[in-house]
Amino acid sequence: MAQKGDLLSVRQDIRVVDATIRDGGLCNNFRFDDKFIKDLYQANVKAGVDYMEFGYKASKEIFNEDDFGKWKFCNDSDIRKIVGDNKTGLKIAVMADVGRTDFQKDIIPKKDSPIDLIRIATYINTIPAAVEMIEDCAKKGYETTINIMAVSKANTDDIKTALDILGQSSVNAFYIVDSYGALYPEQSRRLANLYCEYADKYGKSVGIHAHNNQQLAFANTIEAMTQGVSYLDATVDGMGRGAGNCALELLLGFLKNPKYKVAPILKIIEEHTEKLKAEGVKWGYDIPYMLTGQFNTHPRPAISYVKEDRKDYSKFANELYDIINS
């Protein structure tokens, strides 16, 4: 596909999505204090961010509420305490995992909720269940996206079949999700072209959610954007599971639309994320995450390795090789 836009142009279809609380919550079990959430909400409003994802709508039958902070569950009342009636240009999002969300009960009609967008996360083999969730949420009045996770592991023919099925649903946007931080810009470009082909066919948008295992989250995001991807996920200071994500401050600084402003996000880094790091919350590029990215596998072994504060990288590489090939 032809490149869309250039370094000096403004694309009005771009939507910046701050996923700090949701992906960053995987680093500290969603135990953020309300001041951080409130300050981040206000900073996103000032920065011109289009959507702020508050966390998950996780099932309280599956997950013990005592084991997590409240943003694992995103009760509507908790969100409303932060945003009130949200009389701003910023829209509120939450994520709902297929098989881990009591969506029929916990996702109430939009008219009674401060939430605007439900981001439905699925693997390629649970697309029918994802479609059921899409239609339920759309019927309740929500915008929806479908986030196909671990796409670097998916067969191209399966992706095409999934996009064809999803294109016939009520979903607003398909998401490329580089769960393992394994993609290179050339691969991101090819996937963006594929997703945008189906999006054009069905009148949908496309998004990207990148992980930074190989320090390519920002590069993959803007590469996909040049091919027509318009929903761009990012997090403050790159905060997210394992190696983290495309940094919001990098993305806002790159986009030329004057509505986007970096300064409010820098203030959040200065006042909050630096403090979280000092308190021992870990995320960001590290050799173990690089290795799981290069091996195109889940970062779970690297997360355990980092928690143990190990530095025997070559030994870990051999262990990882054995895990993957056993």
pLDDT value of position 38: 98
Chain center to CA of 272: 20
Instruction: State pLDDT tens for residues 174-213.
Output: 999 999 999 999 999 999 999 999 999 999 999 999 999 9
Please check whether residue 53 is in contact with residue 19, taking contact to mean a CB–CB distance below 8 angstroms: yes
In terms of residues, how long is the chain?
326
> In CATH, which superfamily holds the domain spanning 15-279?
Aldolase class I (3.20.20.70)
Query: What residue ranges of the chain are covered by domains with CATH 3.20.20.70?
Result: 15-279
pTM: 0.97
- Would the pLDDT of 154 be above 90? yes
**For the chain, what is the largest distance between any 2 Cα atoms, rounded to a whole number of angstroms?**
55
- Would the pLDDT of 326 be above 80? no
- Would the pLDDT of 8 be above 90? no
Residue type, 301: P
Question: Measuring CA to CA, which residue among 303, 211, 299 is closest to residue 19?
Answer: 211
Question: Measuring CA to CA, which residue among 191, 247, 194 is closest to residue 217?
Answer: 247
Please check whether residue 110 is in contact with residue 138, taking contact to mean a CB–CB distance below 8 angstroms: no
